[in-house]
Amino acid sequence: MIAKATTTEIETIEELTIYSLDHSHEGIESLINGAHKCGKDLREDTKIALESLLPLTNALHEFDSFEYNLCSLFVIDRKEICDKDGNLESVMESFRTCLVKVEQYLEKKDISSLALLLLTRLPSTLARIQALLPSLRQYIDEKYIQPETKHA
């Protein structure tokens, strides 16, 4: 028996954004797991790790673009998206620093520092982004979705 595909009716960019944010948790979890795997592989078999590093860095850059486009589209002040541990602006700065460090360590062939970054700093930064996703979703929902439903 073939399972019936479920579909979600999305009519606006705001609804698409909420849908995407609702499904971002799994994507970030995958990035965290990928970073851990690459970091461990770098310590054990550099060749295998370097082969899996390209798809990981591509996915990290895609996520960076997604976040940037999202904040640009909705004119989001990243300082407003916060919790007790900080705001999205500082977390994204840390994330982008990680991306730069990955490139620097690769250029220098500093495999031990790259492995450490992938095992520690990058996953913890991604976890912080993941923790702020509900606040980002709530911000967009309250500012863009709920006002539309009140006028409908």
| Distance spanning both ends of the chain, measured CA to CA | 41
* Rounded CA separation 47/136 (Å): 38
Q: What's the number of domains the chain is made of? A: 1
In a domain, 3, yes or no: no
Low-confidence ranges of the chain (pLDDT < 70): 1-8, 148-152
Give pTM, 2 decimals.
0.87
Report if residue 4 sits inside a domain: no
Instruction: Please give the pLDDT value at position 6.
Output: 62
* Domain range enclosing 94: 13-151
Please tell me the predicted confidence (pLDDT) of residue 1.
47
What string of DSSP letters covers 88-125? HHHHHHHHHHHHHHHHHHHHHT-HHHHHHIIIIIHHHH
pLDDT tens-digit profile of 96-128? 999 999 999 999 999 999 999 999 999 999 999
